[in-house]
Structure 1
């Protein structure tokens, strides 16, 4: 596992599959708790175009075997973050996942 610190459980939110009409397939979306993760909060940036939007970045370090896809969202400490890009897989260590929270 990456580094040291206090581990926590992150919930991976997999979006539902879509049928040929673009409608969600019932029962296909799933939430999976992933124990043993580390979360490193990152910087925030305010949009200066008159909006009240704030983007906050972070990194999640998940254990080997965690199933995270670029289309998933992660619930971390009560907030739902989007996965940014493809998670980096370190074969014997785990996953490194960049996440972003957009509020406002």
Structure 2
């Protein structure tokens, strides 16, 4: 993983990724302790909303996060944003310039169910 200096603007987001598997008390593989790494220079765009699931109103918080091109984010990660933990929701989108093919950044959608 390449660690770049923090840009002057944007927000820091922390990626939480399960560590290597460990054995649980029954001898089965279980996710290891979270490994963390920061993403600097992110833009965080909140999209609060609500859903109805099975006749129940569910409050969800959605975020769209725009991160630098070198960002290491996977669909199975969780993200700590402004002190709250969100799950990555869907694939990580890669932006490229249509003129040069240069990577411009990544877009990550994150979601948190709060009630």
**Band of TM-score, shorter chain:** 0.7 to 0.9
Which of 85, 92, 95 is residue 90 of structure 2 equivalent to?
85
Range that drifts further, 37-46 or 56-65: 37-46
Query: 1:51-77 CA deviation, whole Å, 9 max, x = no partner?
Result: 6x4111110000010000000000001
- Which of structures 1 and 2 has the larger relative contact order (alpha carbons within 8 angstroms, sep 6+)? 1
Helix, strand or coil at the partner of 2:21: coil
The yes-or-no answer on 1:102 pairing with 2:113 is yes
TM-score (norm 1): 0.79
The yes-or-no answer on 1:7 pairing with 2:18 is no
Corresponding residue for residue 61 of structure 2: 56
Which of 16, 19, 22 is residue 29 of structure 2 equivalent to?
22
Which structure dedicates a bigger proportion of its chain to strand? 2
Corresponding residue for residue 71 of structure 2: 66
Count of paired positions:
96
Unpaired segments ≥5 residues, structure 1? 1-5
Unpaired segments ≥5 residues, structure 2? 1-8, 97-102
